[in-house]
């Protein structure tokens, strides 16, 4: 389809008729500033092709000139399938349409129909635009960013284009309609989230409500049944309680129980009286018998008492004899004691004498010992005195001896020093020389002589030689030697010794004296050691003891025992043995006397006891005899026998009477009768209470039952069951309907998807070359509604996330592809872009130009823009708007 | 003397299958039947009406339901209405009969709750031996007492009981079983029975009247909707029994196998013929099967479902004719395309899987045909 001319008149800003000049195949560019009327021209183009001439719809009204009413008129010249056509329409007043071409000239609706047929569009409703693909290809200002929004006819057109390739109808459109019908039907039953709605939901809720109500009613019915059952039970119990016969019987039973108890009480009283009578008779009989027995016993006891007295008197005589014998024996024992005591006294005298002798002997010996001790003590004291005197006589002691030795050593040292400075003379005497050599008067012998001081050597026969040693400090040495000799001499003088040897001897003598003194002291110490006394005191003590012993010896004297021969100790031992024997004998006799005399004690006891028994027996017999006599005086034995017989008869009669009463005892006991009465009384009493309670409960139950019955529970339950069943059936029907619709939807949707995938392939192929040119290696995802949902380069990019420029370019490419597809199928196709590609960068714009240029070889493209400079590189056919009548057209 | 024998009114009965429109009509008509019975009795000179139990459907009816039949009978004071409890409305203590008594029944409405002979008419020429039920299920024969029941010499003895008759020699334990020869054993001139909803003659003197207004699609005997006019000329005379229609609605079961338009037409004719004068008196329970082409399916919908469904009082349909699409039907979708592919998918699903899934797929397929045809029509 090639648009060759466009005229407009009374269209918005174009009041007078103007023409778009320069239209032709390829790219047509109308570059003009804003407000020039480019969009008006596009609106006029859409109006003349798509709006029915009689329409007064808004798109038509909007075509009217500014500021006034008018009749918009649009005319186009176009070539379609090699045939030239002219189409002219006037809207609003005196509206008309005329289509001329191919030898045809059509007006009015026929023209419109033919036009639709030519364009492959579907007439719009109520004056709206006809629907077809051209709407999508002619993009108005501001719509270039969005992808074509296809109407149903547009989709049908595309689909038929695509299906032509498949050589088969996909039925995609029918499937779409079926799907929308199914979706609509499903939407009646299910909401967006797939939950039941409308009648489906009502059915479900209704069933639940009905079930709940039913459960409530069933519960009430159960309560009613319970009430009825309880009522029946109550009625039975009431009938039982309220039975007049039963109550009369209870009263009669109570009266009878009372009578029984009275009878029992009466009988009991009589029985107790009879029993008292019997007990009395029995007591009387027992008393008589007791009297009788008592009298017999008395007689027997009396006889026994007399015999006993006689027996005891005999025994008394025997006991007296025994006691006398025992007394004699005791006197004999007393005498024996006296004899033994005398013997003991004699033995004691002998013993005392023997003991006195032994004591004197001991004292004599003791005095000897004391005198000896005194003598030893005296001698030891004298020895000590002597030793002390000797020791005191010694002038030397260790200290003085030390001083002497010290002076000696000093002298030795002075001499040594003197000798060290001395002149040594070595003398060797020739034979016969001996004695001829004299030094300082002393003959010299062979050997060495030391001359410490001036000396004169005289050699016999020769002369003298004065020797003066040339020693240094000789005077000093000589003085020291003299001092030392003096000191030694003084020390020796102090101890009274001539020389050291004397001093040494004196010191030894002193040591001997010290030892002797020490020995004497030791002896004395040994004697005194026991007493711890001084020697003087000890000697005093010893002398006093001696004197004391002398006194004691004097006291004992020699009077006793001197006449007795023998060893005093042996005599004493013999006396002691004699004394021991005498003591033992006395002890035995005394023991015999003091030992308890059982025989005598028993004899005395027996005698006393027998005397007491005899007294009692005698008194008892006498009392018995008196009592018996008194009793016989009151009641003779014959009278007592008669009373016994009478009491016997009375007791038998009373026992018989008691037996007779016992035989007439009524059944049961009084306690049982009382219990029966109490039970019956309680039964009667509680019966009234029970009756009242039962009536009260029955009234309550009855009220409940009537209330429930008035509700018609059974009827309501049946109605509710019907309701629930109806809802359940409706629910099932809805569920089935949903299942059917979903099954249908799934099947159709799957089929449509499969078909769409098949027939979308050509569209994708149509778009792909241009797409690849613009976006290398990119693949577009085409949806069943022919929109491009995403661009896949390295990753999938949803369309809405792409930049404005990219989205616009893709939208243009999509239209280009669709137009190409239509053209290839022989459909009318041309593209109008109003202010498109304004977001493209220069690189993209160049490639878009290439793409458009390439496409323009196949189809006409009209570009309307206010930015002419952008499109200078497009090499487009330039369009101009000129008043009708201008002969020249700009561009080429 | 003449009496009218009826039973099983079952006032207050709820019909589960009936929707909210139909249920009140059906219930109302059961009440109207009482008026028709009364008028029939009057017209035929009957002195009394004996109702052999199940006057009420529920043991605990609402107050209104309880009073409604009484009010209908009240309109016929010239007739004595003798009622006994049946198994639906048995005489339980504190139950509906006591409620009924408390409402204050007029003298001509006589409930017989105890097995005690009572005069049937004012003159006392006939005596009624009633055997109402005291429980829903009674062990033993409630009519047994009639054998030894004393009535004045020379009077007509009419038994009135509710239950199933027992065959001769049948000793099996059962509920409410009546001796089939009770009329003979008890010297009854007539034994009026209730419980069976279709009128039935057991012997010359023993009859079930059936329900006066049919209440089900499966009513035995001669079908319901009748009352029996009984003429008793004397204690020994054989009763003359005439059945009179008193019901309004006709209940019918029907079956049809549909394979084409002819079958549909025949079915329509058959159902319309049940009551050509007034199809609104007809209730039909139709079981249908078979398969139809698309256009015939439309015909089924139009003539039977919509047409007869509107004409009849009730058309309850079990099943539905399947779709047997013709080659023309298939062609409507073209040789290829998504819808055609979907039909093939659904057809395959309808032949495999479990029963429920197959049924759903078949229904979906049928729906698809209809929709696709509608869509195509819309496009045309």
Which among A228, A530, A525 is positioned nearest to A383, based on CA atoms?
A525
Give the minimum alpha-carbon distance from B61 to chain A in angstroms, rounded to a whole number: 4
CB-nearest to B371 from A181, A725, A750 is A181
What angle, rounded to 10 degrees, do the helices at B22-43 and B63-74 form? 30
Selected residue of B95, B340, B342, B345 to mutate for chain A interface (largest A Cβ count, 10 A): B342
Question: Which residues of chain A neighbour B365 with C-beta distances below 8 Å?
Answer: 744
Alpha helices in A125-171 (DSSP H): 133-137, 152-166
Question: Which residues of chain A neighbour B23 with C-beta distances below 8 Å?
Answer: 722
Residues forming a β-bridge with A886: A884
Q: Is the pLDDT reported for residue B39 higher than 80? A: yes
CB-nearest to A171 from B61, B340, B345 is B340
pLDDT given for residue B372 in this prediction = 76
Structure tokens at A154: 């547009």
Cα(A737)–Cα(A734) distance, integer angstroms: 5
CB-nearest to A718 from B14, B349, B379 is B14
Given a contact cutoff of 8 angstroms between Cβ atoms, the answer to whether A144 and A816 are in contact is no
Contact at CB, B334 and A712, closer than 8 angstroms:
no
Structure tokens at A169: 């109808």
Give the minimum alpha-carbon distance from B17 to chain A in angstroms, rounded to a whole number: 7
Question: Which residues of chain A neighbour B64 with C-beta distances below 8 Å?
Answer: 712
Looking at per-residue confidence, does A576 or A472 come out higher? Answer: A576
Q: Are strands A2-9 and A73-80 parallel, antiparallel or unpaired?
A: antiparallel
Alpha helices in A53-104 (DSSP H): 58-61
Architecture of domain B2-245: 4-Layer Sandwich (3.60)
CB burial class (10 A; 0-12, 13-18, 19+) of residue A536?
exposed
Given a contact cutoff of 8 angstroms between Cβ atoms, the answer to whether A145 and A130 are in contact is no
Which SS3 state, helix, strand or coil, does residue A546 take? helix
Given a contact cutoff of 8 angstroms between Cβ atoms, the answer to whether B264 and B296 are in contact is yes
Q: What is the mean pLDDT of residues A704-732?
A: 87
CB-nearest to B376 from A174, A711, A754 is A174
What is the dihedral sign for C-alpha B361, B363, B364, B370?
positive
Cα(A172)–Cα(A317) distance, integer angstroms: 171
Cα(A399)–Cα(A154) distance, integer angstroms: 164
pLDDT given for residue B379 in this prediction = 45
Question: Which residues of chain B neighbour A181 with C-beta distances below 8 Å?
Answer: 371, 374-375
Question: Which residues of chain A neighbour B361 with C-beta distances below 8 Å?
Answer: 743
pLDDT given for residue A892 in this prediction = 35
Cα(A583)–Cα(A814) distance, integer angstroms: 172
What residue of A is the nearest CA neighbor of B94?
Answer: A228
Beta strands across the sheet bearing A796-798: A779-782, A788-792, A796-798
Question: Which residues of chain A neighbour B341 with C-beta distances below 8 Å?
Answer: 171, 751, 754-755
Question: Which residues of chain B neighbour A702 with C-beta distances below 8 Å?
Answer: 94
Distances (CA, A) of B199 to A174, A372, B8, B346: 59, 180, 11, 51
Selected residue of A152, A189, A202, A715 to mutate for chain B interface (largest B Cβ count, 10 A): A715
SS (H, E, C) chain B: CEEEEECCCCECCCCCCCCCCHHHHHHHHHHHHHHHHHHHHHHCCCCEEEECCCCECCCCCEHHHHHHHHHHHHCCCCCEEEECCCCCCCCCCCCHHHHHHHCCCCCCEEECCCCCCEECCCCCCEEEEEECCCCCCCECCCCHHHHHCCCCCCCEEEEEEECEEECCCCCCCCECEEECCHHHHCCCCEEEEECCCCCEEEECCEEECCCCCCCCCCCCCCCCCEEEEEECCCCCCCCEEEEEECCCCEEEEEEEEECCHHHHHHHHHHHHCCCCCCHHHEEEEEEEEEEECHHHHHHHHHHHHHHHHHHCCEEEEECCCEECCCHHHHHCCCCCCHHHHHHHHHHHHHCCCCHHHHHHHHHHHHHHHHHHHHHHHHHC
pLDDT given for residue B12 in this prediction = 92
φ, ψ for residue A788, nearest 5 deg:
-100, 115
In chain B, where the domains are located: 2-245, 250-379
Give the minimum alpha-carbon distance from A708 to chain B in angstroms, rounded to a whole number: 9
CB-nearest to B334 from A169, A718, A754 is A169
CA atoms within 13 A of residue B236's CA, in its CB half-sphere: 2
Contact at CB, B335 and A722, closer than 8 angstroms:
no
Cα(A489)–Cα(A483) distance, integer angstroms: 10
Give the minimum alpha-carbon distance from B51 to chain A in angstroms, rounded to a whole number: 21
pLDDT given for residue A169 in this prediction = 45
Cα(B367)–Cα(B369) distance, integer angstroms: 5
Contact at CB, A712 and B374, closer than 8 angstroms:
no
Cα(A335)–Cα(A349) distance, integer angstroms: 22
Q: What is the mean pLDDT of residues A298-307?
A: 88
Give the minimum alpha-carbon distance from A671 to chain B in angstroms, rounded to a whole number: 46
Question: Long-range contacts made by residues A726-732, C-beta under 8 angstroms, separation at least 24?
Answer: A726/A206, A726/B16, A726/B19, A727/A203, A727/A204, A727/A206, A727/A207, A727/A210, A728/A203, A728/A207, A730/A199, A730/A202, A730/A203, A730/A206, A731/A200, A731/A203, A731/A204, A731/A207
Given a contact cutoff of 8 angstroms between Cβ atoms, the answer to whether B208 and B7 are in contact is yes
Contact at CB, A714 and B58, closer than 8 angstroms:
yes
With b for 16 or more beta-carbon neighbours within 10 A and e for fewer, the B143-154 pattern comes to beebeebebeee
> pLDDT tens-digit profile of B106-161?
999 999 999 999 999 888 889 999 999 988 887 788 999 999 999 998 899 999 99
What residue of B is the nearest CA neighbor of A740?
Answer: B364
Q: Is the pLDDT reported for residue A132 higher than 80? A: no
Question: Which residues of chain B neighbour A747 with C-beta distances below 8 Å?
Answer: 342, 345-346, 349, 364, 368
Question: Which residues of chain B neighbour A217 with C-beta distances below 8 Å?
Answer: none
pLDDT given for residue A363 in this prediction = 85
Looking at per-residue confidence, does B187 or B338 come out higher? Answer: B187
What residue of B is the nearest CA neighbor of A229?
Answer: B93
Contact at CB, A171 and B94, closer than 8 angstroms:
no
Contact at CB, A726 and B16, closer than 8 angstroms:
yes
Give the minimum alpha-carbon distance from A719 to chain B in angstroms, rounded to a whole number: 6
Which SS3 state, helix, strand or coil, does residue A810 take? helix
Q: How confident is the model at residue B377 (pLDDT cuts 50, 70, 90)?
A: low
pLDDT given for residue A888 in this prediction = 42
Give me the DSSP letters along A417-441.
HHHHTSEEEEE-PPTT-TTTEEETT
Question: Which residues of chain A neighbour B318 with C-beta distances below 8 Å?
Answer: none
> pLDDT tens-digit profile of B190-199?
999 999 888 9
Cα(B342)–Cα(A748) distance, integer angstroms: 5
Q: What is the largest CA-CA distance in chain A?
A: 223
Cα(A543)–Cα(A540) distance, integer angstroms: 5
Q: Is the pLDDT reported for residue A265 higher than 80? A: yes
pLDDT given for residue A885 in this prediction = 67
Question: Which residues of chain B neighbour A203 with C-beta distances below 8 Å?
Answer: none
CA atoms within 13 A of residue A535's CA, in its CB half-sphere: 19
> pLDDT tens-digit profile of A429-451?
887 777 788 888 888 888 877 77
Which SS3 state, helix, strand or coil, does residue A472 take? coil
Number of neighbours of residue A660 by Cβ within 10 angstroms: 10
Architecture of domain A2-132+143-148+829-883: 3-Layer(aba) Sandwich (3.40)
Give the minimum alpha-carbon distance from A111 to chain B in angstroms, rounded to a whole number: 22
Q: Is the pLDDT reported for residue B45 higher than 50? A: yes
CB-nearest to A235 from B93, B340, B371 is B93
pLDDT given for residue A149 in this prediction = 64
Q: Is the pLDDT reported for residue A794 higher than 90? A: no
Q: Are strands B250-258 and B282-292 parallel, antiparallel or unpaired?
A: parallel
What residue of A is the nearest CA neighbor of B348?
Answer: A747
> pLDDT tens-digit profile of A314-351?
888 888 888 887 777 778 888 888 888 888 888 888 88
Contact at CB, A178 and B92, closer than 8 angstroms:
no
Question: CATH 3.40.50.300 occupies which residues in chain A?
Answer: 2-132+143-148+829-883
CB-nearest to A710 from B19, B63, B334 is B63
Give the minimum alpha-carbon distance from A712 to chain B in angstroms, rounded to a whole number: 3
Contact at CB, B60 and A747, closer than 8 angstroms:
no
Contact at CB, B58 and A726, closer than 8 angstroms:
no
Q: What is the mean pLDDT of residues A168-179?
A: 64
Selected residue of A233, A744, A754 to mutate for chain B interface (largest B Cβ count, 10 A): A744
Percentage with pLDDT > 90 across chain A: 8
Q: Is the pLDDT reported for residue A166 higher than 50? A: no
CA atoms within 13 A of residue A887's CA, in its CB half-sphere: 0
Lowest mean pLDDT among A827-831, B1-5, B240-244: A827-831
CB-nearest to B336 from A168, A721, A726 is A168
What angle, rounded to 10 degrees, do the helices at A398-420 and A500-529 form? 160
Given a contact cutoff of 8 angstroms between Cβ atoms, the answer to whether A226 and A705 are in contact is no
CB-nearest to B336 from A170, A228, A710 is A170
Cα(B187)–Cα(B157) distance, integer angstroms: 7
Contact at CB, B16 and A721, closer than 8 angstroms:
yes
> pLDDT tens-digit profile of B286-302?
999 888 887 888 899 89
Q: What is the largest CA-CA distance in chain B?
A: 94
Give the minimum alpha-carbon distance from B218 to chain A in angstroms, rounded to a whole number: 19
Cα(A582)–Cα(A580) distance, integer angstroms: 6
Give the minimum alpha-carbon distance from B24 to chain A in angstroms, rounded to a whole number: 11
Question: Which residues of chain B neighbour A740 with C-beta distances below 8 Å?
Answer: 360, 363-364, 367
Contact at CB, A744 and B333, closer than 8 angstroms:
no
Which SS3 state, helix, strand or coil, does residue A35 take? coil
CB-nearest to B60 from A712, A752, A754 is A712
Selected residue of A709, A742, A784 to mutate for chain B interface (largest B Cβ count, 10 A): A709
């Amino acid at each position: 389809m090639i648009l060759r001319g466009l005229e407009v008149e009374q269209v918005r800003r174009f009041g007078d008729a103007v023409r778009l000049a320069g239209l032709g195949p390829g790219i047509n560019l109308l570059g003009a500033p804003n407000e020039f009327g480019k969009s008006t021209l596009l609106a006029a183009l859409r109006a003349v092709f798509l709006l029915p001439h009689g329409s007064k719809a808004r798109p038509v009204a909007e075509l009217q000139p500014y500021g006034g009413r008018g009749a918009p008129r649009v005319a186009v010249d176009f070539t379609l399938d090699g045939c030239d056509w002219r189409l002219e329409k006037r809207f609003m007043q005196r509206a008309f349409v005329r289509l001329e071409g191919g030898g045809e000239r059509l007006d009015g609706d026929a023209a419109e129909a033919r036009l639709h047929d030519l364009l492959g569009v579907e007439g719009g409703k109520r004056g709206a635009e006809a629907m077809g693909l051209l709407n999508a290809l002619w993009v108005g200002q501001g719509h270039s960013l969005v992808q074509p929004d296809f109407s149903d006819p547009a989709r049908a057109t595309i689909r038929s284009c695509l299906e032509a390739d498949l050589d088969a109808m996909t039925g995609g459109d029918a499937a779409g309609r079926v799907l929308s019908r199914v979706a609509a039907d499903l939407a009646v039953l299910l909401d967006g989230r797939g939950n039941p709605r409308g009648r489906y939901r009502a059915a479900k809720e209704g069933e639940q409500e009905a079930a709940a109500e039913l459960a409530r009613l069933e519960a009430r019915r159960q309560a009613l049944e319970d009430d009825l059952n309880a009522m029946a039970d109550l009625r039975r119990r009431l009938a039982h309680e309220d039975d007049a016969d039963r109550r009369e019987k209870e009263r009669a039973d109570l009266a009878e129980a009372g009578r029984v108890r009275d009878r029992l009480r009466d009988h009991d009283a009589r029985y107790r009286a009879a029993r008292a009578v019997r007990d009395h008779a029995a007591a009387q009989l027992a008393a008589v018998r007791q009297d009788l027995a008592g009298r017999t016993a008395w007689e027997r006891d009396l006889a026994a008492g007399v015999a006993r007295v006689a027996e005891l008197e005999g025994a008394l005589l025997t006991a007296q004899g025994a006691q006398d014998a025992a007394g004699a024996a005791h006197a004999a024992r007393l005498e024996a004691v006296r004899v033994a005591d005398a013997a003991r006294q004699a033995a004691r005298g002998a013993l005392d004498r023997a003991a006195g002798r032994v004591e004197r002997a001991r004292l004599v010996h003791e005095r000897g010992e004391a005198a000896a001790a005194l003598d030893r003590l005296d001698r030891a004291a004298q020895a000590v005195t002597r030793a002390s005197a000797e020791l005191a006589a010694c002038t030397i002691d260790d200290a003085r001896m030390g001083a002497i030795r010290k002076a000696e050593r000093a002298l030795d040292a002075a001499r040594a020093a003197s000798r060290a400075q001395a002149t040594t003379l070595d003398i060797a005497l020739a034979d016969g020389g001996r004695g001829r050599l004299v030094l300082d008067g002393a003959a010299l012998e062979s050997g060495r002589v030391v001359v410490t001081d001036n000396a004169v050597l005289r050699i016999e026969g020769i002369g003298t030689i004065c020797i003066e040693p040339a020693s240094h400090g000789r005077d000093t040495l000589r003085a020291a030697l003299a001092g030392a000799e003096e000191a030694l001499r003084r020390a020796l003088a102090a101890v009274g010794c001539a020389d050291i040897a004397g001093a040494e001897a004196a010191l030894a003598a002193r040591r001997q004296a010290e030892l002797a003194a020490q020995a004497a002291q030791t002896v004395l110490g040994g004697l005194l050691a026991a007493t711890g006394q001084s020697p003087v005191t000890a000697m005093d003590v010893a002398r006093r003891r001696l004197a004391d012993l002398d006194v004691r010896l004097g006291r004992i004297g020699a009077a006793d025992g001197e006449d007795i021969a023998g060893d005093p100790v042996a005599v004493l031992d013999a006396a002691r043995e004699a004394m021991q024997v005498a003591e033992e004998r006395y002890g035995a006799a005394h023991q015999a006397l003091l030992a308890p005399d059982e025989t005598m004690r028993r004899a005395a006891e027996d005698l006393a006891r027998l005397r007491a028994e005899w007294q009692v027996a005698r008194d008892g017999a006498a009392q018995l005899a008196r009592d018996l006599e008194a009793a016989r005086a009151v009641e003779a034995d014959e009278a007592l026998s008669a009373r016994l017989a009478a009491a016997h008869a009375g007791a038998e009669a009373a026992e018989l009477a008691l037996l007779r009463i016992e035989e007439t005892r009524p059944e049961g006991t009084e306690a049982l009768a009382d219990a029966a009465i109490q039970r019956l009384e309680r039964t009667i009493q509680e019966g009234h209470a029970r009756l009242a309670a039962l009536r009260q409960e029955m009234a309550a139950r009855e009220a409940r039952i009537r209330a429930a019955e008035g509700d018609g529970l059974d009827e309501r339950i049946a109605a509710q069951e019907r309701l629930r069943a109806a809802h359940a059936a409706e629910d099932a029907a809805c569920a089935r309907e949903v299942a059917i619709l979903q099954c249908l939807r799934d099947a159709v949707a799957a089929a449509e998807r499969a078909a769409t995938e098949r027939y979308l392939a050509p569209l994708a192929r149509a778009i792909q070359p241009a797409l690849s040119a613009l976006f290398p290696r990119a693949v577009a995802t085409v949806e069943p509604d022919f929109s491009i949902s995403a661009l896949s380069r390295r990753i999938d990019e949803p369309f809405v996330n792409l930049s404005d420029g990219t989205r616009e370019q893709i939208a243009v490419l999509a239209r280009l592809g669709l137009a190409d597809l239509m053209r290839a199928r022989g459909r009318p196709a041309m593209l109008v872009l109003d202010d498109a590609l304004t977001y493209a960068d220069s690189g993209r714009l160049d490639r878009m130009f290439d793409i458009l240029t390439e496409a323009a070889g196949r189809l006409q493209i009209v570009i309307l823009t206010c930015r002419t400079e952008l499109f200078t590189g497009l090499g487009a056919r330039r369009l101009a708007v000129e008043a009708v009548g201008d002969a020249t057209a700009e561009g080429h | 003397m003449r009496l009218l024998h009826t039973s099983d009114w079952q006032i207050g009965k709820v019909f589960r299958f009936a929707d909210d429109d139909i249920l009140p009509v059906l219930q109302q008509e059961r009440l109207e039947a009482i008026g028709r019975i009364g008028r029939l009795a009057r017209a035929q000179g009957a002195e009394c009406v004996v109702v052999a139990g199940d006057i009420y459907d529920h043991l605990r009816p609402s107050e209104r339901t309880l009073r409604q039949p009484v009010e209908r009978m009240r309109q016929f004071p010239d007739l004595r209405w003798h009622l006994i409890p049946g198994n639906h409305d048995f005489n339980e203590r504190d139950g509906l009969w006591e409620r009924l008594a408390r409402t204050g029944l007029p003298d001509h409405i006589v409930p017989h709750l105890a097995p005690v002979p009572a005069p049937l008419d004012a003159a006392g020429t006939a005596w009624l031996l009633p055997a109402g039920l005291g429980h829903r299920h009674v062990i033993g024969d409630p009519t047994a007492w009639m054998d030894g029941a004393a009535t004045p010499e020379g009077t007509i003895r009419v038994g009135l009981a509710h239950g199933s008759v027992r065959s001769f020699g049948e000793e099996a334990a059962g509920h409410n079983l009546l001796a089939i020869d009770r009329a003979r054993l008890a010297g009854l001139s007539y034994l009026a029975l209730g419980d069976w909803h279709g009128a039935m003659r057991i012997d010359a003197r023993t009859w079930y009247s059936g329900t006066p207004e049919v209440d089900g699609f499966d009513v035995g005997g001669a079908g319901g909707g009748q009352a029996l006019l009984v003429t008793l000329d004397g204690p020994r005379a054989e009763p003359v029994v005439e059945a009179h229609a008193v019901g309004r609605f006709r209940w019918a079961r029907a079956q049809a196998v549909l394979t084409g338009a002819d079958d549909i037409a025949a079915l329509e004719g058959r159902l319309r013929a049940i009551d050509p004068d007034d199809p609104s008196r007809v209730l039909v329970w139709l079981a249908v099967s078979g398969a139809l082409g698309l256009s015939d399916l439309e015909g089924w919908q139009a003539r039977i479902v919509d047409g007869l469904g509107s004409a009849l009082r009730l058309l309850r349909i079990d099943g539905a004719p399947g779709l047997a699409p013709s080659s023309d039907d298939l062609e409507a979708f073209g040789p290829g395309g998504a819808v055609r592919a979907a039909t093939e998918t659904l057809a395959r699903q309808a032949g495999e899987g479990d029963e429920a899934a197959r049924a759903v797929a078949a229904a979906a397929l049928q729906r698809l045909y209809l929709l696709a045809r509608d869509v195509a029509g819309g496009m045309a």
